[in-house]
Amino acid sequence: MTAAKAGHAAKGPSGSAASERASLEIEMAKAVHPIMVRALTPLATYFGGIIIVYFFIETTTGFLIMAPLSGLTAAVLLLAEHRWLAEYRSIRQLEVVGLGVGLLIYANILAFLHVHPEPARLSYFLLLMMCVVTVSPTRRMAVGGAVLSLASMLVKAYFHGPDIFAQFAMLSVACSFVAFGVVLLMREAVERAVKARMAAENLRGQAQEQAEKDALTGLPNRRRFFGELERLIDPATAAPPFHVGIIDLDGFKPVNDLYGHAVGDALLIEVGHRLRHVLAREHMVARLGGDEFSVIVTRPVEANDVHALGQAAIEALRRPFKVGDIDISISGSGGFARFPDNGSSIAEIYERADHALYSAKSHSRGDVVIFGARHEAELDNAGRVEQTLRLSDLNKELFIVFQPQIDAVTGQTAGFEALARWNSARLGPVSPGVFITAAERCGMIDVVTEILMRKTLDAMAQLPPAMRVAINLSARDLVSERTIERICTLVRDSGIEPGRLEFEITETAMMTDFDAARDALSKLSAMGSRIALDDFGSGYSSFGYIHRFPLNKIKIDRSFVTELDGGDIGHNIIRAIVDLCRNLKLDCLVEGVETPEQFAAVQTAGARYVQGYYFSRPLPLPDALSFLERETRPASRAS
């Protein structure tokens, strides 16, 4: 019994090796199969077409010998391609078909040499050899075909005399080295590729698991998330209605930029742990990439329950994180959509969850939004706006209005903010918040920015030479090197002094791509233009990054002005930001001043520059020029 077992064990490795060799031989033949098949079409075309050549250049005897053989060869080659080798069956199949085709080509060469026995024609055997070694399915066929070709050539050369024999003998040696070098290299390359493919297939199970797992957090990744969506939506699954949610972190980019990617990665790992802990095990939590996570709520629940579930996840993210010795506070926003109510395909349901997330980040940052009828109407409207943008004559329909920026000390206009407007021939007036967002989404923001920039520069030529004008740049503008270069070119070509231009950017736009934004602003600043940080306090409000940008001005968000009526909090915040600007030697402007009381409070807080409806609504250029003229006359300012 023991001896039998020992014998079996001794035989095991050798049997395994034989099995591996057999598998390798089969896989090699499968790899060579398409090479053989692809070679048959040009060969069949050649032998079919050469019949026409024979008809014109051969004698009757030569034509009767060569034409039928060439026709037979072409027919056999086509049969081999479309029937005998249409699909791989075995290595013997390839050898038999290859042998038959090779012998037919060999017979064609012999017949041609019978009709044309000139020594120079013997080189056809060399071509045959190269063809055989290239497409033969096995080494033995390659060697056999090469030996037959060379032997036939040398025998025929021998009968042409010693000089011809010596010439072709030397040629055969050289060609043999080339041919066998080619076959060895090709076979070795094919064998390596086949072995690599076999190894890859053996590891596919492990690789499949790794391919669907996020390497950083260990959560399912984007691929696994969409694969699960595809499975749930498949009618064969008959899955009940479910919700898809997207959760995006608010304030992650500043963490990444201030503390480095190592801290950012550690934070993402902790975020993944919290989301997995808060959400039930039956729900899939995945990381889509960057600071964006997703959840599939597979348990049938109502919208209120989904909102509560998402709110629990957001609340968990609001709790401070401890990464090493660093305390970090961030938040998150979420958007959810329900299948099949909000969409019947992966693209539709994901788009609607993403739109709900966008709505949360735009209007109620740090909250959860469930996609509903209002959002569906917004999507439809956005689609119409995008389509209209593409079809409109934007040079004619886009225009600029100017809102004065007032020096609170002198009471005079210090500059204007150029505000974009679109009066669409199809849609009528469209809000800047709508069409700028649509232009960014559909890839037309560079076109819109260039048109607005041209119109602003043209208007500046009519304003007093010392009057500054501020123009807004979108997040996409900031990260587009091409757009920034185009803006610089337009300014240089306009003849307008670059120092009269002030480019306004938001905190959110700066954080979209910190390094790209810094490079873009540095380029604009180097040109001589000024840089203003718009809506300060509405976004990340981190003082840590202000010194890393070439800023000249900070514009305090209007939300702080509305809090002036509620007590000292708004007043103290404005005073603190004004003091910060003074210490950093930055200009400070307060937006949204609409009443005399607000203006007085802002002056008390120490702000030098103000802007708002109390002074003027945005004005067309002729009205803006009239506004400046009225300042020179002793008249009271109308509200």
Domains and CATH numbers, the chain: 20-202 (no CATH), 213-371 (3.30.70.270), 392-631 (3.20.20.450)
Measured CA to CA, the distance from residue 326 to residue 254 in angstroms comes to 14
CA 489 to chain CA mean position, Å = 28
130 vs 595, residue with greater confidence: 595
- In eight-state DSSP terms, residue 289 is E
Q: What is the 3-state secondary structure (H, E, C) of 513-540?
A: CHHHHHHHHHHHHHCCCEEEEEEECCCC
Query: 56 pLDDT exceeds 90?
Result: no
The mean pLDDT value for 286-304 works out to 89
- Torsion angle defined by CA atoms of residues 318, 319, 323 and 329, in that order, rounded to the nearest 10 degrees: 40
Among residues 637, 110, 621, 200, the alpha carbon closest in space to that of 406 is found at: 637
**Residue 540 reports pLDDT greater than 60:** no
**Secondary structure (H, E, C), 470-483:** EEECCHHHHHCHHH
Peptide bond before 432: cis, by omega within 30 degrees of 0?
A: no
Higher pLDDT, 342 or 26: 342
Q: Which of 100, 108, 142 is nearest to 125 (CA)?
A: 108
Judge contact between 244 and 339, C-beta under 8 A. yes
- Measure the CA–CA gap between 610 and 286, rounded to whole angstroms: 46
Task: Give the pLDDT confidence of 413-430 residue by residue, as tens digits.
Answer: 999 999 999 999 999 999
Banded model confidence at residue 554, pLDDT cuts 50, 70, 90: very high
Predicted confidence band of residue 517 (pLDDT cuts 50, 70, 90): confident
DSSP 443-458: T-HHHHHHHHHHHHHH
Tell me which residue of 460, 471, 574 sits closest to 531, measured CA to CA. Answer: 471
Specify the range with the lowest mean pLDDT, choosing from 202-211, 355-364, 599-608. 202-211
Strand 398-407 with 609-610, pairing: antiparallel
